[in-house]
Amino acid sequence: MTGRVYLIGAGPGDPGLLTVKGAECIRSADVVVYDYLASPVLLEHARKDAEMIYVGKKGGDHTLPQQQINRLLVEKAAAGRVVARLKGGDPFIFGRGGEEAEELIRAGIAFEIIPGVSSAIAAPAYAGIPLTHRKFASAVAFVTGHEDPTKTASTIDWAALAGGIQTLVFLMGVKNLSHIADQLIRHGRAPSTPAAVIRWGTTPAQVTVSGTLDTIVERVNRAGIQAPAIIVIGEVVGLRDQLKWFERRPLHGKRVVVTRARDQASDLVKRLTDLGAQCLEVPTIKISPPESWEPLDRAIQNIADFRWIVFTSVNAVELFFARLFEKGKDVRALRDVRTACIGPATAEKLLSYGIRSDILPDSYRAESIVAAFQHQPVRGETILLPRAAEARPVLPVELAKMGAAVTEVAAYRTEPVQADAEELIQNLEQGGIDLITFTSSSTVRNFTSLLPPERSRSLLSGVTIAAIGPVTADTARKLGFAVHIVADTYTIDGLCDAIVGYYKAPN
């Protein structure tokens, strides 16, 4: 049986700009063949059993020559497999998608073209540069800045570009910027024509340098701009000062380490990215089952014996209900049980199972639950407390002092993770980290084990530390961290708001 190849435009870098159909094709693929410019986040759409093959090309360094990429697509599809070929931007705009399609036709392989958002359009938009504008430009041209090196002569009509088209967009041309500017000026374009170079357009690493044809080369060299970058030339570049929305976001250009468990980090990463930050995920913990399910299972079996259940985290809610369902019960088993939650996220997760929390204190820490129970007749009441095996003892101890009979069971464990230590240290050595976020005491404790003790202080010099709340901050201080940011509201949103406030405050 012959397979099929999807030639998919992966977009310009922002994973949110992948088309719906592109995502569907990735999910259906047996094999994913991807380029250097295709966002790694897009690979998360792929099935876990899909074969992943990197064929990226970076600055002349080709993992596979184009002919071998063509042959790879044919071989995989001919073996009856569905292949998703991810190409940065759009496959038919300087993406050599036409060449790959021709090879598939010669081999009799079925294929589809899935257009993508080209960086030629998206990068200027994110830089605040409209390619057309009624006052300035009614024509735009897309030009390669890197012609086929086997050509004996250039096929670019410099005179036509210089004199007849108001907006010019050059792709893959940053190395030839001086030549491009010289040719346009030589063929009649005014040296004062506005110009901009956009590197890593649409990503948190986006940098834009503006100038004119006669100054842009010097400014780009001074800024150290390298590929991947695009060049925009024309009067529309002058609108950037008014329209540059993307680079005005409060955390733009900040590199932030997220230490939360990988399967829980998405909300924080998305929020920080939306604020402009470039996130480096370095999970220091992972959520694991308890050493034994027996205590939790026994409590669930005897759930009618409890008057209250106190949930201290989203993890506790999810794992409690997973075991409840595993034991053949459902939410009706809790019909006579009252509930208390720490934090709105925990209460929201509980509500997703159809149960509204009876107690939700204003403050999101264990002490607040204790205070809330002071208004409840808890003496002699039975309270189930499913939570992390390593949790602080304050809650069961204080509730017991109030006369409650507390059954504390481990619903999960947090275990240290060190897989990304090398990348973290390398980024710290290069001064590439601005901020580190801690969302629990366990993330702090396990983070310290990632750094060589004798170099910890020097590696963290100049790095801002943010904690989700006072308990996490106290743990960090006891371990030698200088804590700069502590959220007033102990949630992901509260942490992000505190980070934005810190960077907005006058120095």
- What are the two backbone dihedrals, phi and then psi, of residue 355, each rounded to the nearest 5 degrees? -125, 125
Instruction: Give the bridge partners for 413, in sequence order.
Output: 288
**8 Å CB contact between 490 and 441:** no
**8 Å CB contact between 483 and 449:** no
Catalytic residue among 30, 76, 87, 172: 172
CA 158, chain centre distance (Å): 40
For residue 311, what are its two tokens?
A: 């949930």
Identity (one letter) of the amino acid at 134? R
**8 Å CB contact between 259 and 437:** yes
User: What Å distances lie between residue 488 and 270, 467, 471, CA to CA?
Assistant: 21, 10, 12
- The reply to whether 35 belongs to the active site is yes
- The reply to whether 135 belongs to the active site is no
Catalytic residue among 14, 30, 35, 90: 35
Residues 6+ apart with CB under 8 A from 71: 103
**8 Å CB contact between 413 and 293:** no
For residue 74, what are its two tokens?
A: 């044919």
Taking the chain, what is the end-to-end CA distance rounded to the nearest angstrom? Answer: 66
Peptide bond into 228 cis (omega under 30): yes
**8 Å CB contact between 199 and 177:** no
For residue 40, what are its two tokens?
A: 């790694």
Q: Would the CA dihedral through 77, 43, 17, 138 be positive or negative? A: negative
Give me the count of residues in the chain: 507
For residue 480, what are its two tokens?
A: 């030698």
- The reply to whether 57 belongs to the active site is yes
Catalytic residue among 57, 286, 327, 329: 57
Helix (H) or strand (E) holding 485: strand 485-486
Q: Helix 314-326 and helix 344-351: axis angle, to 10°?
A: 20
Q: In what order do the strands lie in the sheet with 207-212?
A: 140-144, 167-171, 229-233, 194-199, 207-212
**8 Å CB contact between 118 and 89:** yes
Residues annotated catalytic, as ranges: 35, 57, 172
